[in-house]
Amino acid sequence: MNLSPFSNQYLRLGDALPFPLRDSGGRLLLAAGIRLDDPQTLAGLQAAELFADEQESNDWRRRLGSAMDTALRQNATLQEIADIRSPTERERNNGPAKGLGEQWCDLAAVLDITLRDLGAGSPWMSRLMAVHARSTRLAEQRLDASLYHLIYTAGHGTERYSSQHALLCLLIAVESARKLGWDEVLINSLALAALTMNTSMRRLQDQLAASDLPVTSANRVVIHQHAEQSARMLREAGVADPVWIETVRLHHDDSQKTRGLAELDPAQRAARLLRRVDIFTAKLSCRATRGPMSPVQAAREACLAPDGTPDEIGAALLKAVGLYPPGSFVQLLSGEIGIVVARGARANLPVVAVLIGADGAPRGNLTLRDCNDRRYAVKAAVSAASVRLTPPHEALMSRR
């Protein structure tokens, strides 16, 4: 049984779930199909730490995600999104549930619209909070698969570059912050900063990623000023969290680089981490003028000090995504070439799906290699351009 957390916000009086709820040890707390008609029973479950078996609840979670994505696209308020209940028969009959990749693409589209409408008097804040909540739930449920989708997408296209980049930075920054042991209040401010750090240059960022035209002097002024300008826009649009705003303002500032993390205030710590994550993910992303950098080279430039060892933030980042992150290609000692589908026990020991056999022929079946087995250790990173086939993404992501 593979248990994953279940949020008590989806428990409603009079409702029934099509799968059982359990505690962390797998003990049954509520059987499938049992209506919650007793307020005391509901209160007891809401006070408990709840879990559901992934296989039993996966279909329900996908339908719920589809309903939330639809609400986001229709510019629903935060309260309307929060009030979405478990999927009904009508929703089930409306068509197949969206895959994980589609859900992340929808979130990128909604984030793009949200930041375009940023300003006092618009519902941008409620929509941003809904994007944050939805992305957080997807990451909590399927982090490896989410990293796979966003990293592969970053390396193979430039559509909605700014929003896709923001979502990837959010995932990696939050996971890195958890490796550092930061509290959830700071992590929440960091996540919102990741989503909004490039607000003032969102359109320019998209244009530059998709164009082979040179960067003009006017462009350079916008790029140079975007951190201060984005912080100002957020403040004027009603953001009251000073750590969020200050993290955005400082996310390109390296003036405190000689000071240890313990010497910095919360916003400075968050900004330092976000700056490194921003650099790392940008190197993993393609542009119209170049392909993505090898993850090993990206890690070397973003995570390692001149002496070749990672500092505190570099170590946390490597623990968060690995030296060979999901969505990147590798060659194994066996001669096989594959795509990383999950992080492993150590940064250099991922789980790899074989795409091309040692004989150079494409593999039709999905074979996973755990690089903890020395026979299948990673020999080298492989460029995306050299792999001339498209992996079966949803099938691979469904395994994680």
Structural domains in the chain, sorted by start: 3-61+70-98 (no CATH), 102-321 (1.10.3210), 329-397 (no CATH)
- Gap between the Cα atoms of 326 and 142, Å rounded: 12
- Gap between the Cα atoms of 354 and 166, Å rounded: 30
pLDDT at 255: 87
pLDDT at 30: 84
Summarize the chain as % helix, strand, coil (round to 5). 55, 10, 35
pLDDT at 9: 66
Provide the CA 182 distance to its chain's centre, in angstroms: 18
pLDDT at 368: 93
Token pair of 34 as six digits:
């049992």
- Gap between the Cα atoms of 108 and 358, Å rounded: 37
pLDDT at 72: 62
Tens of pLDDT along the chain (400 residues) come to 677 778 776 787 777 788 888 888 888 888 777 777 777 788 788 778 888 887 777 777 777 766 666 666 666 555 555 555 544 433 444 445 678 888 999 899 999 989 988 887 778 898 899 999 999 999 998 999 999 999 999 999 998 999 999 999 999 999 999 999 999 999 999 999 999 999 999 999 999 999 988 999 999 999 999 999 999 999 999 999 999 999 999 999 988 888 889 999 999 999 999 999 999 999 999 999 999 999 889 988 888 776 777 889 999 999 999 999 999 999 999 999 999 999 998 999 999 999 999 999 998 788 999 999 999 999 999 998 888 888 888 888 887 7
Residue pair 80/115 in contact by the 8 Å Cβ criterion: no
Token pair of 129 as six digits:
């909070």
Token pair of 375 as six digits:
């026979």
Residues 151-166: b if buried by 16+ CB within 10 A, e if exposed: bbbbbbebebbbbbbb
Handedness of CA 266, 281, 103, 159 (dihedral sign): positive
Residue pair 145/397 in contact by the 8 Å Cβ criterion: yes
Residue type, 22: R
Token pair of 83 as six digits:
């009030």
- State pTM to two decimals: 0.77
Q: Which residues contact 30 (CB under 8 A, 6 or more apart)?
A: 17, 20, 21, 36, 45
Residue type, 20: P
In the block, residue with structure tokens 């993390």: 261
In the block, residue with structure tokens 């300008």: 229
Q: Which residues contact 398 (CB under 8 A, 6 or more apart)?
A: 100, 145
- Gap between the Cα atoms of 337 and 329, Å rounded: 7
Phi/psi at 241 (5° precision): -85, 110
Cα dihedral 128, 132, 135, 138 in deg (nearest 10): -130
Mark residue 399 as left, alpha or beta (left: phi above 0; alpha: psi -120 to 50; beta: remaining).
Answer: alpha
